[in-house]
Chains A and B, each alone.
Chain A
């Protein structure tokens, strides 16, 4: 960390300091499942969902670079990153194969 430039340090601090709002995450869980979610569970989900944001941003940067573009990321970079993520991981559940995804939604 001593070798960080001021910009790198600033970005690192932002990375460390900011988390997803726990109450908002909790609401999403509760609305999705129609049941109460405990505070610790919401905290855990908020935690790894933050990692997911990181994975999206990194992928979007890669997409942007491949296109030879610069500047702040565009919605399209992000959407493409998400599309790639879903393709590579077959969406979230291991049970859902990538091919099967298109069966009901044409």
Chain B
């Protein structure tokens, strides 16, 4: 909370309220994401849909950024283990 603008030492009960609100938010998002009666697992597409309103633009952008980073790391790992294998064959 300090990182986002609160005091260096936020009030403890404010922190508790933040946690309550945050949990409620995550619960809301998950329930909304899965509402369309589906019994399948929560997917990224579900989250994309839930965050598609203008008010959620920042959150959606952050999600896309994280997805991109996840892919990047996966690719980097794959390349790394490929070069490992190449070394082994030499």
Task: Give A contacts to B, CB under 8 Å.
Answer: 11-12, 14-18, 20, 25, 28-29, 32-33, 35-38, 40-41, 43-45, 47-58, 60-61, 71-75, 77-79, 82, 88-89, 91-95
Name which residue of chain B comes closest to A55, CB basis. Answer: B58
Chain A: minimal CB distance from B22 (Å): 6
CB-CB contacts below 8 Å: B18-55 with A: 18, 21-23, 25-32, 34-35, 41-44, 47, 50-53, 55
A72→B9 contact, CB < 8 A: yes
**Which among A15, A33, A54, A73 is the interface contact of B42 at CB below 8 angstroms?**
A33
Count of inter-chain pairs, beta carbons less than 8 A: 139
- Point out the residues of chain B lying under 8 angstroms from A16, CB to CB: 3
- Point out the residues of chain A lying under 8 angstroms from B70, CB to CB: 40, 43-44
B53→A72 contact, CB < 8 A: no
B2→A92 contact, CB < 8 A: no
- Point out the residues of chain A lying under 8 angstroms from B6, CB to CB: 57, 60-61, 72-73
A28 to B50 Cα, complex, angstroms? 17
Name which residue of chain A comes closest to B27, CB basis. Answer: A32
B44→A44 contact, CB < 8 A: yes
- Point out the residues of chain A lying under 8 angstroms from B30, CB to CB: 28-29, 32-33, 45
Chain A: minimal CB distance from B35 (Å): 7
Name which residue of chain A comes closest to B49, CB basis. Answer: A94
